[in-house]
Amino acid sequence: MRAILSALLGLTPAMMAFVLSYTPASAIEIQAATPAVSSPIVRISARCRRWGHRCRDLYPKGGWRYRRCMALHGCSG
């Protein structure tokens, strides 16, 4: 019984990948490109730039405290 269950669990991801990948080309929608301003990358970059200024004001010499401040706000310093 254990061998049957492990075999089924091993085949399940492969079967799901096969079933989900079988989509006719006519059913695939092409999404319109969004402007770069609303991109999350730009928003994160702007947010990190602001935190960079704030952390630099708090820790003007940089160092591990500046890097910790940036990391706590989800940015790399």
Asked if the model's pLDDT at residue 4 lies above 80, the reply is no
Residue 35 has pLDDT above 60, yes or no: no
**Which one is predicted more confidently, 37 or 72?**
72
* 14 vs 20: CA distance, rounded Å: 10
Distance linking the first and last C-alpha atoms of the chain:
54
pTM: 0.45
User: Does 9 have pLDDT greater than 80?
Assistant: no
Tell me what pLDDT residue 76 has: 82
Question: pLDDT band at 77, cuts 50/70/90?
Answer: low
Domain limits of the chain?
A: 39-77
Residue 59: its pLDDT value, please?
93
Q: How far is CA 42 from CA 35, 37, 47, 56, 75, in A?
A: 11, 6, 9, 21, 13
